[in-house]
Structure 1
Amino acid sequence: MATDLLTRTRGRIDTYFAVGVHGSTMRRELMAGTVTFLAMCYVLAVNPSILGDQGALSEQGIPTQAVFTATAVSAVAGSLVMGLWARYPIALAPGMGLNAFFAFSVVLGMGIPWQVALSGTLLSGVIFFVLAVTRIREKILNAIPLQLKLAVAAGVGVFVAFLGFKNAGIVVASDATLVKLGDFTQGTTMLALFGLVVTVIFLVRGWHGAVLYGIVLTAVVGMIAGLVDVPDGIAALPRGLDETFGQAVIHLPDAFTAQMAVVILTMLFVDFFDASGTLIGVANQAGLLNSEGELPRAKSALSADAVGTMAGAVIGTSTTTAYVESTAGVSAGGRTGLTAVVTAAWFAVAMFCYPIFAVVAGSGAVTAAALIVVGVLMARSLGDIDWTRLEFAVPAFITIVMMPLTYSIANGLAMGMIFYPVVMAARGRFREVHPVMWVLTLIFLSYFFFLAE
């Protein structure tokens, strides 16, 4: 009886997510969801350090424990919507760039209370949702030419790899040259290099879950060497939401000001294109774009960001968005929404087991190899770009290099889409440029001159 029930349940899950149709397996999806969580769980430690009252914002910040819980809850909500509705292997959580904007530009720079800033986040999520369900955003996304989408995928890969090298200490800051080679004698850098070597070996050997195995082995070696903290506990009850829940709604009237209009527009703009770039990049790596380079079920996928943002704002955190670390799960074999559902489940568990997950979350050296390997895999789309034609090569190259150089997926995407219609027009192919692209060009130019930092 129990065996029959399990078989029927597995069959229903397989049918709903089309696991077999996408050439995946239940085991592989479970593995991929776990890998995605491990690659992005650092947000549980970093987000509270940026937004919390025990971090950079000090007494002006949101209660730190509440930020941690809200971070996990928003990741659960956004990832579930993405997995169950859009059925994509893409997880969501509070975005790192946007939480810095929230903290340093809005709260510290403009002196806006965090409660009102959360109201602005909520409003940006509402606008985002309207754009998504009315298919306006989908039309914009599908107006982007395939060559640029391939460039975005490759650029995201380079950006992810750069994050990995930075977290590993292999690449460090330099006053003279901006970046330089790090100190390989540092213990954490050596640990990251060890992780990179073993992960590559597992990958080359064709092991599904190579990234996960690399993370686990690196963490264990790090604990033995004293480079990674050993968990000081197992469980801790989530707390703090009583101080933040609903504050975004209560202070909503205070958000209707000219100053907050700029804040809301910036949040909306950055999330709009950062998430779009991430969705394109991850979907391309997973082979989920159609023959015309368009994103199937784009309406549902794009709505997930908005739902996550609205839920997170009401609970107590900054803008929630699609995470580029989802590429780690795709590299482990994830192809369906089941991957995102598994990631959501891990975030739900993490709410009660933070002392354990803080071990990985607090060590960039442990997850660095995963990010670097993912970058290698995503760079494969470089070969599909037509480099022999300058009207494609120029905007593609600018898109790719600007992502890591400006530390922003949105900036790279914007720069590429500014150059594309200009170069196409100079080539005499004006009519082949979608009218939406010309509108985006004007918007992006305004963004760089008035909003970008």
Structure 2
Amino acid sequence: MFDNLFKLKENKTTVKNEIGAGVTTFMTMAYILAVNPSILGAAGMDTSAVLIATCLASFIGTACMALLANLPFALSAGMGLNAFFAYTVVLGFGYTWQEALLAVLIEGVIFIILSLTKVRESIFNAIPLSLKRAVSIGIGLFITFIGLQNAGICVGNSATLVSVVDFTAKFSTSGICAVLALLGTLISAVLYIKEVPGAILVGILITWMLGIVCQLTGLYAVDPASGHFSLLPTFAMTDFSKIGLTFGQCFDVDISRGELLNFAVIVISLLFVDIFDTLGGLIGIGAKAGMLDEHGRMPRVSPALLADAVATTAGAMLGTSTVTTFMESSAGVAAGGRTGLTAMTVALLFLVSMLFAPIFTAIPAFATAPALILIGFLAFCDVAHLKLTKENYIEVIPAFLCIITMPLFYSISEGISFGVISYVFLHICCGRTRQLNALLLVLAVLFICKYIFL
């Protein structure tokens, strides 16, 4: 049965290899079950509902990848995209999380349409490679900044805007949490360097366990008034009725006419990041798996993109941010995964994970912060692909502006705007208009209009 459905013999693999690869992939990306509720919880969403929605959306998306594309790729709520949802759209622009879910839903529907046409290739080809790299790098810095804030290491300061926390002022609460986050980051880095399976998830659990030890020995003081709750896990059954707090809430909104243009910019930004994040992930993992042809193209990429789009649409209706293909799928590929059976294994594991929702949602922010910081580093590694030479300044200066504005302006969309506008401006002023295309010019004009009229 498995061979007929997933063509195991044709891909020179076995059921044992595929299931083992699926478990490996799940272990490397299971941290999202702790991190995503923490990030979306900052936007006012119920963390248990978010975790259940994340599990269901991951199951739907990954199962679609298995059945439609027969590829060993797993999907879940994308890092960076969830930060954009919570910290930029909701906390930054002032939209409700229900309105943000509507933006994700619209983006998902548009992505479905683009996945059924050739438009997605046109958009992908219109954006220069340097800016594609810059978006990934900038998101990495943005995620790292959020991790430092969630850990309480980076705090507000009236003189310099931000500074490091005073570890001794409130050592039994914020101080010890910051220390544990730093220690957890170093432990996670060591585990990742040593290629320990599920290093990021293991790092989260170790940091949490150290926090529990600190609570039991009195180093950590429980103080609900300041947001420092008990670190001891609860083993209650998952309350599946919580999904009702987010399911279908994307339809219960009313965007005013005056906000339509700004809302459209948010949808476009989500679509932009999702398209390049998905295509970049598929190409990167496909290359590691030896699935690309001599032209660098990957077979069955269209159904893979469709699976991603369907997952995003379903996730918005369930109550989570944009779902995308995870680069951690490369761990399963390295373990021998070659077909959709690997993906189906991951999908089923996400479904089972719903039973442990109370444990995942009890993990404190300082324990998930190391994961954000390390993931930020992994995204930042793309800077090695930028040619930092004087002859290439016309490419890397816009890339730099795109990268640096994301964390400093606390917005992924602002980074994209600055990158596109500066790229077009420099190429026009330096007589390099042949390197520009009509779609890129249109995007630049739209971003400029946003700053003038909004």
TM-score, normalized by the shorter chain, greater than 0.5: yes
Alignment partners' CA distance in 1, 2:10 and 2:83? 32
**Equivalent residues in 2 for 1:220-369, closer than 5 Å:** 220-226=209-215, 229-240=231-242, 258=257, 261-262=260-261, 265-279=264-278, 282=281, 286=285, 288=287, 299-315=302-318, 317=319, 319-322=321-324, 326=326, 329=328, 344-360=347-363, 363-369=364-370
Give, in whole Å, the separation in 2 of the partners of 1:133 and 1:307: 12
Residues 399 and 46 of structure 1: CA distance in aligned 2, closer, same or farther (over 3 Å): closer
Partner of 2:156: 173
Equivalent in 109, 127, 131 of residue 114 of structure 2? 131
Aligned equivalent of 1:374? 375
Is it true that 1:41 corresponds to 2:13 in the alignment? no
Structure 2 CA distance, aligned partners of 1:448 and 1:295?
A: 38
Q: CA deviation at 1:181?
A: 1.4
- Counterpart in the other structure of 1:192: 181
What is the total number of aligned residue pairs between the two structures? 417
SS of residue matched to 1:91: strand
Partner of 2:437: 434
Q: Equivalents in 2 of 1:89, 1:405: separation in Å?
A: 31
In structure 2, the residue corresponding to 1:351 is in which secondary structure? helix
- Displacement of 1:239 in angstroms is 0.7
Contact 1:72/1:347 (8 A) holds in 2: yes
CA 1:209/1:444 → structure 2, altered by over 3 Å: closer, same or farther?
A: same
Q: Deviations over 1:71-130 (max 9, x none)?
A: 54334334444565464444236834335646874459xxxxx6x886676455433422
Alignment identity in percent? 30
Cα 1:433/1:353, change in 2 over 3 Å: same
1:140 and 1:72 map into 2 onto residues whose CA distance is: 30
Partner of 2:143: 160
User: Which sits farther off after the overlay, 395-404 or 254-263?
Assistant: 254-263
Could you say which residue in structure 1 is the equivalent of 2:205? Answer: 216
What residue in structure 1 maps to residue 425 of structure 2?
A: 422
- Counterpart of 1:235, as a letter, is M
C-alpha distance in 2, partners of 1:378/1:244? Answer: 30
Equivalent-residue separation in structure 2 for 1:196 and 1:391 (angstroms) = 36
**Distance verdict in 2 for CA 1:229–1:150, change over 3 Å:** same
CA gap of 1:90–1:194, structure 2 versus 1, over 3 A, is same
Does 2:84 match 1:97?
A: yes
Residue 163 of structure 2 aligns to a residue whose secondary structure is: strand
1:61 alignment partner in structure 2: none
Two-structure CA RMSD over aligned residues (Å): 4.1
TM-score by length of 1: 0.74
1:292 is displaced (CA, Å) by: 8.0
Relative to structure 1, is the Cα distance of residues 353 and 274 closer, same or farther in structure 2, using a 3 angstrom cutoff? same
Q: How far does residue 190 in structure 1 lie from its aligned partner after superposition?
A: 1.2
Give 2:224's aligned residue. Answer: none
TM-score (norm: length of structure 2): 0.74
Distance 1:198 1:122 in 2: 38
Q: What letter corresponds to residue 120 of structure 2 in structure 1?
A: R
Post-superposition Cα deviations, 1:405-435, rounded to whole Å, max 9, x if no partner, equal 1223332223212222222233322112232
Q: Is the 8 A contact 2:57 2:76 kept in 1?
A: no
Encode CA deviations 1:158-211: one digit per residue, 9 max, x unaligned: 223223222222222222222211234511111112212222222333434332
- Does the CA contact (< 8 Å) of 1:152 and 1:280 recur in 2? no
1:278-328 deviations in whole A, cap 9, x for unaligned? 33665576574979888876644544454234324444x3653438xx45x
Structure 1 residue 397: deviation in Å?
0.8
Give the deviation of 1:140 after TM superposition: 0.5
Change (3 A) 1:40 1:409: farther
Amino acid in the other structure paired with 1:233: F
Aligned partners of 1:174 and 1:180 also within 8 Å: yes
Unaligned runs of 5+ in 2: 169-174, 221-229
Alignment partners' CA distance in 2, 1:435 and 1:205: 47
Q: Measure, in 2, the Cα distance between the counterparts of 1:294 and 1:437.
A: 23
